[in-house]
Amino acid sequence: MAGELEEEPHGWNLLWVGGGASFVDVTNDMRNGGGYTRNHFLRSADQMIGYSWDTALIPDCRIHNTSNAFFTVRSKREFVDAVRKNSKKDSLCLNLKFGHQLDESDINALLRSCALAYPLLIGREISYNLEQQMVYIR
């Protein structure tokens, strides 16, 4: 996660544990003399006092349940397979790890190839984040 702590730029981790989001800030749990505390370990969003972040950067579909799916895909074939096998899910998040940054035309080409092959996607809300290389299908 990237955001702010006490209005200063800061980073920490987001974990998905037991179907929900938990935060870990190892930097703030390190002691100057060595050793660690667990004051910022597996905290809920409400417990992250002094922290701020853009909640839109945390896709809801990462929350595990039977109607949502999250996949990392490394090729067009993996992308198409993930869409084909999960087209009936309420939401699908695809993290694109193709080895290079995909641009808008690349992502649109992927989506067109899937929409032509799987008409179940027609009418679904489809969006993407170029910076994060994420595709969201809801």
The lowest-confidence range among 20-24, 64-68, 119-123 is 64-68
pLDDT of residue 58: 63
User: Which residue range is the domain that position 10 belongs to?
Assistant: 2-58
pLDDT digit string, tens, across residues 78-126:
888 888 888 777 778 888 989 899 999 999 998 888 776 666 677 788 8
Q: What is the C-alpha separation between 18 and 87, in angstroms, rounded? A: 24
Whether 64 has a pLDDT exceeding 80, the answer reads: no
Q: Clarify whether residues 43 and 11 are in a common domain.
A: yes
Q: Clarify whether residues 50 and 104 are in a common domain.
A: no
With CA atoms as reference, report the closest residue to 79 among 100, 105, 97. 97
In the chain, the percentage of residues whose pLDDT exceeds 70 is 74
Structure tokens at 110: 């992927």
pLDDT digit string, tens, across residues 34-46:
666 666 677 777 7
Q: Clarify whether residues 44 and 102 are in a common domain.
A: no
Structure tokens at 109: 């080409």
Q: Clarify whether residues 20 and 86 are in a common domain.
A: no
The pLDDT of 67-80, averaged and rounded, is 81
